[in-house]
Amino acid sequence: MKKLKAHRLFYVLTLLGTLLLLLTGCGKSNKSSLQQIKERGTLRVGMVSANPPYESQVQKNGKTQMQGADVLLVKKIAKNLGVKYERQWI
């Protein structure tokens, strides 16, 4: 009987410890990602420069520019949100 109570106590403590760890990772921000993007004024997007036809780098007028389907999509999304976009290389 004592062994059963010890196992039950162990399971309850393990469950409580797991819940405590999970809940400490929850942030207190009430703002959605969309609200944060609009407040910041910038949509940050991770891109790989060597992934044609989605993203690729080209030289135009001595400047390196990105082109591709993902780039066009990001530009349209940023325009619809009324923010700028910022590339972050990954």
| Interatomic CA distance for residues 54 and 69, integer angstroms | 5
Q: What is the per-residue pLDDT for 41? A: 94
pLDDT above 70 covers a percentage of the chain that reads: 84
Identify how many contiguous H helices and E strands the chain contains and give both numbers.
Answer: 3, 5
pLDDT of residue 76: 92
| Residue 9: HSE in the Cβ half-sphere, 13 Å Cα cutoff | 6
> What's the whole-model pTM score?
0.59
Cβ–Cβ < 8 Å for 53, 68:
yes
Residue bearing the bigger pLDDT, 69 or 19: 69
pLDDT in tens, 15-25: 887 877 766 66
Q: What whole-number distance in Å separates Cα of residue 47 and Cα of residue 65?
A: 13
The model's pLDDT over 43-61, given as tens digits with 9 standing for 90+, comes to 998 888 777 887 888 888 8
